[in-house]
Amino acid sequence: QVQLVESGGGLVQPGGSLRLSCAASGTFRAIYAMGWYRQAPGKQRELVAAITNGGSTNYADSVKGRFTISRDNAKNTVILQMNSLKPEDTAVYYCNADIRRFGQSVDDYWGQGTQVTVSS
């Protein structure tokens, strides 16, 4: 069994910062890409940022320059540092990881989601 456990969401004022963390636990051989998605009410889930196991990153245009994704491969953890937050960043944020448990199959895993609310 593999679990992705997120932490760090909450309520913050516009212009503030939050740090989301996601740790993978369980039995597996390797973690490949990890990332963060978000879903606002009435909208589709969208990619916020992703990072490969080699450290290459990809960001949504709406968060470039404000958010930074990083990972600690030794701790199987991915971090999303969110600065200069805007009300439009309000959403449930989901951690995602491509994980190979056994053999050659790589499967997609999701965290339970953490609420981020940006409001004055």
Q: Contact 11/117 with Cβ under 8 angstroms?
A: yes
pLDDT digits (tens, 9 = 90+) for 27-70: 999 999 999 999 999 999 999 999 999 999 999 999 999 999 99
Q: Within 10 Å of residue 49's Cβ, how many Cβ atoms?
A: 23
Q: Round the average pLDDT of the chain to a whole number and report it.
A: 96
Q: How far is CA 109 from the centre of its chain?
A: 12
Tell me: pLDDT of 88 over 90. yes
Of the listed ranges 48-57, 81-90, 98-107, the one predicted with least confidence? 98-107
- How much is the average pLDDT of 82-99? 98
**Banded pLDDT at 111 (limits 50, 70, 90):** very high
State residue 1's pLDDT score. 87
Tell me: pLDDT of 93 over 90. yes
Give the sign of the dihedral formed by CA 39, CA 44, CA 49, CA 54.
Answer: positive
Tell me: pLDDT of 14 over 90. yes
